[in-house]
Amino acid sequence: MSLVPSVDLNDFTSENEDRKQKFISEIGSAFEEIGFVALSGHFLSEALVTDLYTEIKSFFNLPQATKDAYEIEGIGGQRGYTSFGKEHAKGRKEGDLKEFWHFGQYVENNPRLAAEYPDNVTVAELPNFNKVGKETYRMLEKTAKYVLRALALHLKLEENYFDAFIANGNSILRPIHYPPITAEPKNAVRAAAHGDINLITLLMGAHGRGLQVKNLKGKWIDAIARPDQLMINVGDMLSRLTNNKLKSTIHQVVNPPKEQWGTSRYSIPFFMHPISEMSLNCLEECIDENHPKGFEDITAGEFLQERLVELGLIKK
């Protein structure tokens, strides 16, 4: 079984103050110690999850030439399709053994941000693909908002501290397909060890072995969620903001045993990003004699740009 702690968002959204405080304490402690939790009580319905998997499997089963037509040049893979092996972890040259799609923000009442973000890409062959993707995006964004409200209270901030920064934020929903492995990989895995860029990540599809988390002792442990749970982890932006009080944990997706090479794996992370101008300067609440300021001042937009270059998605 997974050694990652489990929490229930229903505790936080209940009218019961004791249950709310229980959730704040549990998720705060987990994010300080290992940076991961398995969360139930989110806003995704079982029907929506089923519909999403149907649509993304249909997309990745399209002919390669059809998929390639949705790979948009010049936007660093921020929307549409990214082909197999193109992305690599920071510090590695080998491409990960995956292909993926990006849904981005559906901006409301902000022409400046609507102009800043690339447009979402419509898949002509699948009439429900974009509709289901948008609804999933909205429900994961809503879930993330409540998680961040709990973390704000844990950090002794106003509960709504993050709300203005994540409204119309540069968040990404990324359905990933790890195809069957057909030959011995040469120093490549499905997703090499990495930390996420963003504030928090909400992951669908961590229901079987593959995802591993490096704990504080440097040991890799399996991170497995129940089918009704999302795996949620701290990203580098939140780690910087909190002066590493909340831990952005290194994680990876390892290749399956050889007898399972013939199977596909699907996972669907939602990367919660703020608006570009959000300051990631270390919070004063997280700096003291024992924890001096550990990071240079930077905005979320500047940090994202740096990392996209390091990942090979944007050329200098």
Q: Which candidate, 136, 152, 139, 149, places its Cα nearest to that of 101?
A: 136
Nearest-angstrom CA–CA distance, 19 and 27: 12
Map 266-316 to HEC letters: EEEEEEECCCCCCECCCCHHHCECCECCCCCCCEHHHHHHHHHHHCCCCCC
Residue ranges covered by each domain of the chain: 6-310
pLDDT in tens, 114-132: 998 999 999 999 999 999 9
pLDDT in tens, 124-172: 999 999 999 999 999 999 999 999 999 999 999 999 999 999 999 999 9
Segment 226-241 shows an average pLDDT of 93
Segment 196-214 shows an average pLDDT of 82
Identify whether the C-beta of residue 67 lies closer than 8 Å to the C-beta of residue 59: yes
pLDDT in tens, 69-124: 999 988 878 899 998 865 544 554 555 678 999 999 999 999 999 998 999 999 99
The dihedral formed by the CA atoms of 56, 57, 61 and 67, expressed in degrees to the nearest 10: 10
Query: Does position 190 have pLDDT exceeding 60, yes or no?
Result: no
Give the pLDDT of residue 58. 97
Structure tokens at 269: 């992370």
Give the pLDDT of residue 256. 62
Beta bridge mates, 82: 100
Q: For the CA atoms of the chain, what is the radius of gyration?
A: 19
Give the pLDDT of residue 88. 46
Q: What average pLDDT does the chain have?
A: 88
Weakest mean pLDDT among 90-94, 235-239, 280-284: 90-94
Q: What is the pTM of this model?
A: 0.89
In the CATH scheme, what is the code of domain 6-310?
2.60.120.330
